[in-house]
């Protein structure tokens, strides 16, 4: 099964609500690699690689996020996988 890559930009109340920590936990459970980071404008950015089925589950999770998040929007870009990541990290 081929590896795919996605970039997610999540907007709303997504900083200060453990979104990055929760994203890492979810990514680890789905065996995804990549990273999550806060952006200066208040959004959260995620770069993730893995099997498409797991990425789809991760996207579904990201649309809601952790308990105290209030996701207003999510931009999803499908990119070419690079296989450069060994694990999923918080930046």
* Predicted TM-score of the model (pTM): 0.96
**Percent of the chain residues topping a pLDDT of 90:** 98
25 is catalytic: no
Does the annotation count 5 as an active-site position?
A: no
Q: How many separate domains does the chain show?
A: 1
- Res. 48 pLDDT band, cuts 50 70 90: very high
User: How far apart (Å, rounded) are the C-alpha atoms in residues 32 and 55?
Assistant: 8
pLDDT of residue 2: 85
* CATH at 15: 3.30.70.100
Residues 6+ apart with CB under 8 A from 47: 5, 6, 7, 34, 35, 85
Torsion 18-19-22-24 (CA) sign:
negative
Exactly one of 25, 38, 56, 89 is catalytic; name it. Answer: 38
Domain that holds residue 38: 3-90
């Amino acid at each position: 099964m081929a590896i795919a890559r996605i970039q997610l930009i999540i907007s709303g109340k997504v900083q200060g609500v453990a979104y990055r920590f929760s994203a890492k936990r979810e990514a680890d459970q789905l065996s995804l690699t990549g990273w999550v980071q806060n952006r200066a404008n208040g959004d959260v950015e995620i770069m993730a690689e893995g099997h498409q089925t797991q990425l789809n589950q991760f996207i579904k999770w990201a649309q809601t996020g952790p308990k105290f998040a209030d996701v207003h929007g999510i931009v999803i870009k499908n990119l070419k996988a690079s296989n450069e990541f060994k694990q999923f990290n918080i930046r």
